[in-house]
Amino acid sequence: MKTTVSINAFHQAFYDMGRVNQFSAAGRSILFDYLEQLGEDIGEEIELDVIALCCEYAEEDHKTIAENYSIDISDCDFEDGLDRVIAYLEDEGVYVGHTKGFDIVYRQF
């Protein structure tokens, strides 16, 4: 038996599991939308497992991602650096989205 999860229930699940700081509210919303679309694309419902999602996905600023994945943004201003990191993540197939505050949600690899 499966239950459809609303955006509010998705956010609440992170609170209930003590993982509210893993993603910002905007980051969780981006992840929710991504997972809903992914489920539609593959024709399969995605199980809500907060711990697994926190292990598989992350939200970080582009400079931290650049450092962690050796993306050279030394010759870039803020916007170009952000674009370069997003392009890299898109090429790797792991980009989920970014917040208005420019933090990036992605699948870790």
What digits encode the pLDDT tens for the residues 48-58?
Answer: 999 999 999 99
The predicted-structure confidence for 45-98, as pLDDT tens digits, reads as follows: 899 999 999 999 999 999 999 999 999 999 999 999 999 999 999 999 999 999
Is pLDDT of 1 > 60?
A: no
Query: Which structure tokens are listed for 48?
Result: 């809500």
Domain ranges of the chain: 7-107
Does residue 41 surpass a pLDDT of 90?
Answer: yes
pLDDT at 4: 82
- Residue 36 burial (10 A CB sphere; 0-12, 13-18, 19+): middle
Report how far residue 60's alpha carbon sits from residue 22's, in angstroms, rounded to the nearest whole number: 10
**Maximal C-alpha separation, the chain:** 53
- Other CB atoms within a 10 A radius of the CB of residue 65 amount to 23
Name the percent of the chain lying above pLDDT 90: 94
Cβ atoms of residues 65 and 104 within 8 Å:
yes
